[in-house]
Structure 1
Amino acid sequence: MEFPLAIRTLFTYFNSIHVISPEAEQALYGISFEIETPKNKYLHEIGQTCRTYYFVSDGLARIYYLKDGTDVTEYFAHPNDMIIRAESLFTGRPSKKAIQALENTLFIGIPASKLEDLFDTHPDLERLFRKILEASFVAYVNRMESLQFHTAEERYKQLVKDYPRLLENVSLKHIASYLGITQVSLSRIRSSIR
């Protein structure tokens, strides 16, 4: 069977992490769905319970929360990134964080309960998702360590190196909060390294 382009791209990404069988691909395709979310609209609002694994097929999204009325960006998701509210997905509790599209974004959703049913018949899928979650956890720890051990300027330079397109498509307010600094500090850093 010929899969739609977004699904083929997703499976290419999956197979770069752990090769899954054609039968597993077919089963996964059978439960997956696409969601087109316009720029600045929400895939998942604060207070909703997350029940789905989402992957960014095309576009850009972020996870953010409100702290004392201030919007704080926790995570940016690019194409082939998974974006979920893990604390909600794994506990069944409403999330205190939101997922917002920063561009017109195409997400691929995979319902968690249906995916878990497939794990029994397709162990390669379970291994794939374990590896994806392990990589996500390591990325989260690296981000926390970056905030603890690197200067704001070092964090900014790393962000520019890793995601140069981000600076063209995301407001400085979101970038500053992601880096854990004020917009004034970000402007100062940007002007000092030009």
Structure 2
Amino acid sequence: MNDLDSFLNFLCKIQPLSPEGQDAILSLCSQVPIAKNQNLQDIGQKCHTIYFVKEGLARIFYLKDGIEVTEYFAFENDLIIRAESLFRDKPSTKAIQALENTVFIGIPAEALFSLFDQFAEIERLFRKIIEQAYVNTVIRMEAIQFHPAEERYAQLLAEKPNLIQRISLKHIASYLGITQVSLSRIRAAVR
């Protein structure tokens, strides 16, 4: 079995792909291992690659007044890109960091986009993936705007129950938009 078969199966559940479409995607994929706490992409770099997490865990973060703020967590099979850089061809103000020893699957965006003209199924697949990522971003923004931290924490635990074991509390707190002290208080109340 190919190292990328599980990734291909994941993609085919989103959008069925012909054998030719599968081969075309696989021909672009490369595995990129990154050690825990190392950056896959740094702040200030342009994003030219679409990444998925094959194994491990990663986050997107940015600096606000010198403090790291976690914007997004990516678990196995999650898409992780800096879309504002990729689609505008500008350096990003965000970084991608491995929170565990992580293997990413990288697909060069320009080569992938050129497949869209040949394979409508591949274009449809990535449209569905990008649509879902956009919806998830909107839901997260609405949660921060309209729901108290306690509800955001409870929702995060419901969606990702293994989160607490795999991610440091400082990253969870910053993702929720609260301090570590507030998170400790919320966690004590939930127990």
TM-score, structure 2 as length reference: 0.98
Partner of 2:54: 57
Structure 1 counterpart of 2:75 = 78
Give the aligned CA root-mean-square deviation in angstroms: 0.8
Aligned residue among 13, 36, 51 for 2:10:
13
1:138 corresponds to which of 114, 135, 140: 135
Q: Distance in 2 between matches of 1:114 and 1:182?
A: 42
- Opposite residue 80 of structure 1, the aligned amino acid is N
State the partner residue of 2:31: 34
Query: Is residue 157 of structure 1 aligned with residue 154 of structure 2?
Result: yes
Deviations 1:24-46 (A, max 9, x none): 11011111100001110110110
CA distance in 2, matches of 1:165, 1:44: 25
Q: Per-residue deviation at 1:156? A: 0.5
Structure 2: tracts of 5 or more residues without a match:
none
Which residue of the partner structure matches residue 122 of structure 2?
125
Match of 1:43, SS state, is strand
Q: Say which SS state the counterpart of residue 174 (structure 1) adopts.
A: helix
Say which SS state the counterpart of residue 7 (structure 2) adopts: helix
The CA distance in 1 between the partners of 2:5 and 2:12, in whole Å, is 10
1:11 partner amino acid? L
The gaps in structure 1 that reach 5 residues or longer are none
The 4+ residue runs of structure 1 with deviation greater than 3 A are: none
TM-superposition CA deviations, 1:174-194 (whole Å, max 9, x none): 100000100010000001110
Amino acid at match of 2:156: L
Matched residue pairs, number? 191
Q: What amino acid is aligned across from residue 27 of structure 1 in structure 2?
A: A
Distance 2:189 2:114 in 1: 53
Match of 2:84 in 1: 87
Give the TM-score taking structure 1 as reference length.
0.97
Structure 2 SS opposite 1:40: coil
Structure 1 equivalent of residue 42 of structure 2: 45
Please state whether the residue corresponding to 2:60 is helix, strand or coil. Answer: strand
